[in-house]
Amino acid sequence: MDLSSLWAFWNVTENFMLVCGAKILGIPKEQFWATVLLYWLINVSFAPTAYIAGGFSDKFGRKTPILAGMAVLGVMTMGFAFAFNFITIGALFLLHGVYQGLYKPNIQAWVADLAPVEQRAEVIGTYKMLTGLSDIPGPLFFGFLWDQFGLKVPFIVGGLFCLICAALLSVSVPARRVVIEGRA
């Protein structure tokens, strides 16, 4: 087992943050373990998908699995507007892992591929900063839509925007870095 695998094995904080939060809030044990199970399902589908999608992108390019991941996220997000039981929600959490496996490793590799070699870490850091900053107001707006219009609207709107972003990315960003005047 390499050091990264050992670290990942013990990096269970998020699962137990859910358990701890549920316990503090007085949520019955049966309900918070169901939440942890759902979160676990993400990893069940993420791990094999990331492996397969990573190999695919090394051979055929990063853009296709990234776009597929964005499309899966769009469909999965809209699916929550129509979820009706634990099985349906479980399937959506499995799809979330598929999205992560298609998207997360490949988007970071693609950003590195498109960046000038001497600035890869800086470009990845800037990308992570910008996406991280976007993660701050996103849930607030999602919650606002939920409060104003109910559960279905934010999931449908969010899913549609994921699909729109995928369509825009498919036509607006080159699949490979463009070399200008001999620069790598």
State pLDDT tens for residues 94-141: 999 999 999 999 999 999 998 999 999 999 999 988 888 888 888 888
What are the pLDDT tens digits along the chain (184 aa)?
Answer: 555 555 566 655 556 666 666 777 787 877 778 888 888 899 999 999 999 999 999 999 999 999 999 999 999 999 999 998 889 999 999 999 999 999 999 999 999 998 999 999 999 999 988 888 888 888 888 999 999 999 899 999 999 999 999 999 888 877 665 554 555 5
CA separation for the pair 160, 96 (Å, rounded): 16
Domains of the chain and CATH, by start: 42-172 (1.20.1250.20)
Q: Where are the beta strands (DSSP E) in the chain?
A: none
The residues near 134 (Cβ < 8 Å, ≥ 6 apart) are none
Tell me the C-alpha distance between 83 and 89, whole Å.
6
What is the pTM (predicted TM-score) of this model?
0.83
Confirm if 57 and 49 have CB atoms less than 8 A apart.
no
φ and ψ at residue 26, rounded to 5 degrees: 80, 20
Q: Which residues 6+ apart lie within 8 Å of 68 measured at CB?
A: 53, 102
* Nearest residue to 61 via CA among 96, 104, 113: 113
Sign of CA dihedral 122, 184, 176, 97: negative
Task: Name residues whose C-beta falls within 8 Å of residue 110's C-beta, 6 or more positions apart in sequence.
Answer: 57, 62, 63, 66
Report which DSSP code applies to 83: -
In contact, 63 and 110? CB cutoff 8 Å:
yes
Torsion of CA 46, 50, 53, 54, to 10 degrees: 170
